Amino acid sequence: MKQLRGTPLKRFLRDWRREHVELPELALVLQSVSYPANVGSLFRIADATGVGKMFLCGITPTPPNQTISKVGRDKHNDVCWYYEKQAEDALRTLRSEGYHIYALELTDASRPYHQISYPDKLCLVVGNEDHGVTRSALALCDLAMFVPMYGKGQSLNVHVCAGVVLYHIIGQKSGNPE
């Protein structure tokens, strides 16, 4: 077994994608995600999972930002992103484009992410690290979901949750649920 680097790695990943994965149309809305490191991580995850559109809303820091660039490995240059002051405006735009809107948030109606069948055109909404997705944004969502916690902690970092869910969606859509 030999690790792949450089061109052989690029070829391996390209060929694997062609043979195994048909990506759904994904969008990501960050509602006042306040820490630049989380935003950078979300750019990197968005690139890795083929997110087509990313909206940075409210107090979410935007590029150019040294921490976003460093943590995200400059993926803000590869992901199509927009700034929208109000997340609700971004959600209305995405709805008009045919996206289903699912919030990653704990509510009295939230369902575990792995028990959901996902549409082919989906927007995932993630909220502020402390306060989550606002009520007004939740009112525009079709569904709320959560990542179950099996230890003593009550939550994971916002970018970790988004990564878990986005990779699950891709696995489900490609016929290989994780």
**Residue 144 · residue 109 · CB < 8 Å:** yes
Taking the C-alpha atoms of residue 149 and residue 169, their distance in angstroms, rounded to an integer, is 19
pLDDT given for residue 177 in this prediction: 47
pLDDT given for residue 17 in this prediction: 77
Domain spans of the chain, in order of start: 23-173
With a threshold of 0.85, does the pTM exceed it? yes
Taking the C-alpha atoms of residue 178 and residue 168, their distance in angstroms, rounded to an integer, is 6
- DSSP helix, strand, coil percent of the chain (3-state; round to 5): 40, 20, 40
The fold of the 23-173 domain, in CATH, is Alpha/beta knot (3.40.1280)
Segment 3-49, tens digit of pLDDT? 999 998 999 988 887 876 678 999 999 999 999 999 999 999 999 99
Residue 38: phi and psi, rounded to 5, are -65, -40
> Which stretch of DSSP H or E encloses residue 25?
strand 25-31
pLDDT given for residue 37 in this prediction: 98
Strand 53-57's sheet: what is its strand order? 81-84, 53-57, 25-31, 121-126, 100-104, 143-146, 111-112
Low-confidence ranges of the chain (pLDDT < 70): 20-21, 175-178
